[in-house]
Structure 1
Amino acid sequence: MMTPSILRLFKVNGIRLLAAGTLLSSLTTVSMAEEVPRVAALSRAESSRATASQQNKYTFIMFYKDQDDATKSMWNTLSQNLNGKKETTSFVAVNTNDPKEQKIIEEYGVSRAPMPLTLAVAPNGAITGSFVKQINDDYIQQAFVSPTKARCMLNLQSRKMVLLCVNPGGNTGVPAGVQAFKAVPCYKDVVEVVTVDRSAPGEGDFLKELEVPASQESSIVFMAPPGVMIGQYSGQVTSQQLIAELKKAGKSCGVEGCKHCKE
């Protein structure tokens, strides 16, 4: 059984990672919130996901091949858990042998994955959970993440670095060092700057997960795909420090497009 593939902190050789899971690291995601195709051109599963995104809902997509006991059990668990959450979720089953659903099957790269498989998709398109063979109520609940966590996950899954700026209440600015890093030509298109108010409702668990210290100062969390925690810094960090830390991590920039950056 695969446990839920959501961002988790752990250490490997002293390096803190944000694990998106073995399966998730191979998936391609599309932000449905940014562009929703015409519903008439969509399959049933795509239409369900697009409608959910427009309504700021999560979509749970169960992929299956056979109507075996594992498939029936997973679908029953999803139905029992999510039928009472229709204001925040939708769920749909996809037979991987259905020619009408091949586009979404290819999009997530699940044609050869163990079945049944359920993916939890946030309204912005981020995959916040993957469940193989079995699922339970706790796993489903863990797939619901804060808006900031969903933004970070989507960018990491889209092979972008993330500079998360955790600001004290009322401060929406971006530190000068982060702005300077974002302005470097070979980094600007492969890094996303995300800001969050330290006291924002619903974000406390995510900041605790990242081990962001309680402070009245800004904190910067630097992440690279597939889920490497490059480091955590104060708001006074410089672009030179961020570049040095990135190179020290041994990944150059960790994403396509800046591997040969000479900055």
Structure 2
Amino acid sequence: MMTPSILRLFKKNGIRLLAVGTLLSSLTTVATAEDVPRVASLSKAQTSRASAAKQNKYTFIMFWKDQDDATKSMWSTLQQNLNGKQDSTSIVAVNTGDPKEQKIIEEYGVSRAPMPLTLAVAPNGAITGSFVKQINADYIQQSFVSPTKARCMLNLQSRKMVLLCVTPSGSTGIPKGVQDFKAVPCYKDVVEVVTVSRAEPAENGFLKELEVPASQGSSIVFMAPPGVMIGQFNGNVTSQQLIAELKKAGKSCGVEGCKHCKE
């Protein structure tokens, strides 16, 4: 079974890693609200997802092949747990044998995945949960993440590095070291700078997951695909320090710039 333990820290061989979703290596693209084609060309599932995104809703997409007990149970569990949440969720079933739904099946790369399979998709297109064979109320609830967590997840799933800048209350500035790193030619297109206020209540859980210290100053969390925690730094970090830590990650980082940038 796949669980939505995305962006949770663990260690392997001494390297701090992030669980970034078990299906991501097979995904071909991660669609955002801006990426979807015109409504006239959308399938039923694509239309449901696009409509939900516009309304800031999550979409739970259940892919299935056979009308077996596992499929019936998963669908029933989804309906029971999402009933009454129409204001925040949308649910759609996709038969992998339906030729009209081949685009979304190819998009998520699930044609050969074990079935049934449910993906939880945030309004911005990030996959926040993936479940094979079974699903339950706890897993469904954990699929709902904070806006900043969804943004970080989307960038990692899009094969981009993330520099998460956690700022003090009332501060919106980006540390100079982060700006300088973003300005390096071979990094600028493969890194996304995301800012979040330490005082934002909705992000408390996410910051705890990342083990961000409860300090008064700025904190920088450096993440890279497929799920590498490059490091955490204070607001005085320099671009040279960020580059040095990135190079230490070496092949663990799933971005070409990690291995080939000469800066």
Is the shorter-chain TM-score for this pair beyond 0.5, marking a shared fold?
A: yes
Q: Distance in 1 between matches of 2:124 and 2:21?
A: 19
Does residue 15 (structure 1) correspond to residue 10 (structure 2)? The answer is: no
What is the number of equivalent residue pairs in this alignment?
Answer: 263
1:4 matched residue in structure 2 = 4
Asked if structure 1 preserves the Cα contact closer than 8 Å seen for 2:8 and 2:19, the reply is yes
Q: Distance in 1 between matches of 2:142 and 2:25?
A: 18
1:235 matched residue in structure 2 = 235
TM-score with structure 1 setting the length: 0.96
The code of the aligned residue for 2:131 comes to F
Query: How far off is 1:15 after superposition?
Result: 1.3
Q: Distance in 1 between matches of 2:215 and 2:155?
A: 26
The code of the aligned residue for 1:81 comes to N
Q: Secondary structure in 1 aligned to 2:83? A: helix
Q: Residues 19-34 of structure 1 correspond to what in structure 2 (within 5 A)?
A: 19-34=19-34
1:67 matched residue in structure 2 = 67
2:189 matched residue in structure 1 = 189
Deviations 1:87-141 (A, max 9, x none): 0000000000000000000000000000000000000000000000000000000
The code of the aligned residue for 2:154 comes to L
Q: Distance in 1 between matches of 2:119 and 2:223?
A: 23
1:152 matched residue in structure 2 = 152
Percent sequence identity over matched residues? Answer: 86
Asked if structure 2 preserves the Cα contact closer than 8 Å seen for 1:30 and 1:125, the reply is yes
The code of the aligned residue for 1:164 comes to L
Q: CA RMSD in A?
A: 1.3
Q: Secondary structure in 2 aligned to 1:118? A: strand
Query: How far off is 1:13 after superposition?
Result: 1.4
Query: How far off is 1:26 after superposition?
Result: 2.3
Q: Distance in 2 between matches of 1:138 and 1:252?
A: 31
Unaligned runs of 5+ in 2: none
2:214 matched residue in structure 1 = 214
Query: How far off is 1:257 after superposition?
Result: 5.1
Q: Distance in 2 between matches of 1:258 and 1:16?
A: 17
Q: Distance in 2 between matches of 1:198 and 1:67?
A: 47
Q: Distance in 2 between matches of 1:239 and 1:204?
A: 27
Q: Distance in 2 between matches of 1:4 and 1:55?
A: 23
Query: How far off is 1:14 after superposition?
Result: 1.6
Query: How far off is 1:248 after superposition?
Result: 1.1
1:250 matched residue in structure 2 = 250
Asked if structure 1 preserves the Cα contact closer than 8 Å seen for 2:126 and 2:157, the reply is yes
Asked if structure 1 preserves the Cα contact closer than 8 Å seen for 2:2 and 2:22, the reply is no
2:204 matched residue in structure 1 = 204
Asked if structure 2 preserves the Cα contact closer than 8 Å seen for 1:162 and 1:224, the reply is yes
2:43 matched residue in structure 1 = 43
Distance 1:249 1:259, change over 3 A: closer
Deviations 1:153-205 (A, max 9, x none): 00000000000000001111100000000000000000000000011121000
Asked if structure 2 preserves the Cα contact closer than 8 Å seen for 1:29 and 1:154, the reply is no
1:123 matched residue in structure 2 = 123
TM-score with structure 2 setting the length: 0.96
Q: Distance in 1 between matches of 2:258 and 2:11?
A: 26
Asked if structure 2 preserves the Cα contact closer than 8 Å seen for 1:5 and 1:130, the reply is no
2:140 matched residue in structure 1 = 140
Q: Secondary structure in 2 aligned to 1:231? A: strand
